[in-house]
Structure 1
Amino acid sequence: MADVLPLVEARLRSALGEPDARAAVTFLGTDRIEVLRFPAAGQEGDVVRYATLGMSAQPMADPTAVLADPVKGPRAELVLSVRSGAADTDKVLRPLAVLAASPQVEGVIVAPGASLDVGEPLWPGAPFTSVLVAEPGGLVEDLELDAPLDPVRFLPLLPMTPNEAAWKRVHGAPALQERWLNHGTDLRDPSRRSVPLD
């Protein structure tokens, strides 16, 4: 069976350009997770993107299943886009790796609409400790793999303040995204305030 990760990296490079930095993190009992940094380029000259590489090496397993299927199951990588220069966002590499390792460590399936919390600021001084997983397909197209493997989906992450995360738990992800939209929230601003929630 073909190694998935070279195909994933090729898809990331074709969509986002050449990475200018990468970091690797290995957690006890898990596969190595890399985070690639793609510098600001093109029309969005001030947006830097961080993408995980390694999460999709294994399919995510249903936590209620007795045995994990080594072949079938959803596969994903995470992509975070933030404006560069306003905060030390390069420190997000380890938190992103932690989130990418969560299917192996905690047996969770990461899917659109989910909240992921790292329990500490995503980078020094960040007003966010968690992210909302958004719908894939906009920035990096799904990577189709040979059957019976599921495609790799590239899931955008939207940073949430603690208040937004609490509000989302009550009202749901679509309601929070609608509120962001209605208030013209710049979700790539690394130091933005919480959207009004009353």
Structure 2
Amino acid sequence: MADVSDLVEARLRSALGEPDARASVTFLGTERIDVLRFVDGDLVRYATLGMSAAPMTDPAAALADPERGPRAELLLSVRAGAARTDEVLRPLAVLAASPQVEGVVVAPGSSLDVGEPLWPDAPFTSVLVAEPGGLVGDLALDPPLEPVRFLPLLPMTPNEAAWKRVHGAAALEERWLSHGTDLRDPLRAAVALTD
């Protein structure tokens, strides 16, 4: 079977076109994570490459299975030109390395926090992991390997992240929807969290 990262890159290119930039980040004791940038009109899309090379393992598991377990890559879409969003490359690589470094399983509904602004002057330090399947479809791999899922990331302000911890991901997404929040605006304010 072909290398998983090669298959993932081919899927990203078929869904998003040719990337116009690539950055690589390596953390001590981990495999390299690439972040690809795709420009689509007034949107910039960032996609990780390398997170899915190994399956994510439940930190409570006694032994990591080298083949079985969920695999994913991360996608972030923002409007171009309003902020220096290209500086999100390192934070995205940090998030993509978290399964290897911290033993977390990244799944829809979970929150990921980098502890600093995602890019200069960003009002966001964390993201909500959304449901896959909209922009880039799952990539099936030969059994027993699970498919690679492409998980969209929705930036959250600290207040939104705190509200989500209390009320849940679905409630926050409903609030964004009901208020017409532009989740691709790199400088947006927090959604109203009280009625």
Counterpart amino acid of 2:35? V
Distance between the aligned counterparts of 1:15 and 1:133, measured in 2? 20
Cα deviations by residue, 1:47-105 (Å, 9 ceiling, x for unpaired):
11000000000000010011100000000000000000000000000000000000000
| Corresponding letter in the other structure for 1:47 | L
Alignment match, 1:6: 6
What's the Cα RMSD here?
0.5
- SS at 2:184's partner residue? coil
Aligned to 1:161: 157
- 1:15 paired residue number: 15
Residue 39 of structure 1 and its aligned partner are, at CA, apart by 1.1
Question: Distance between the aligned counterparts of 1:14 and 1:88, measured in 2?
Answer: 27
Which residue does the alignment assign to 1:150?
Answer: 146
The residue type equivalent to 1:171 in the other structure is H
Alignment of 1:1-198 (within 5 A): 1-40=1-40, 45-198=41-194
Runs of 4+ in structure 1 displaced over 3 angstroms?
none
Unpaired runs of 5+ in structure 2? none
The amino acid across from 2:21 in the alignment is A
* Counterpart-to-counterpart distance in 1, 2:48 and 2:37: 9
State percent identity of aligned pairs: 83
The 3-state SS of whatever aligns with 1:136 is coil
Deviation at 1:2, TM superposition (A): 3.1
CA distance in 1, matches of 2:169, 2:77: 19
Give secondary structure in 1 for the equivalent of 2:153. Answer: strand
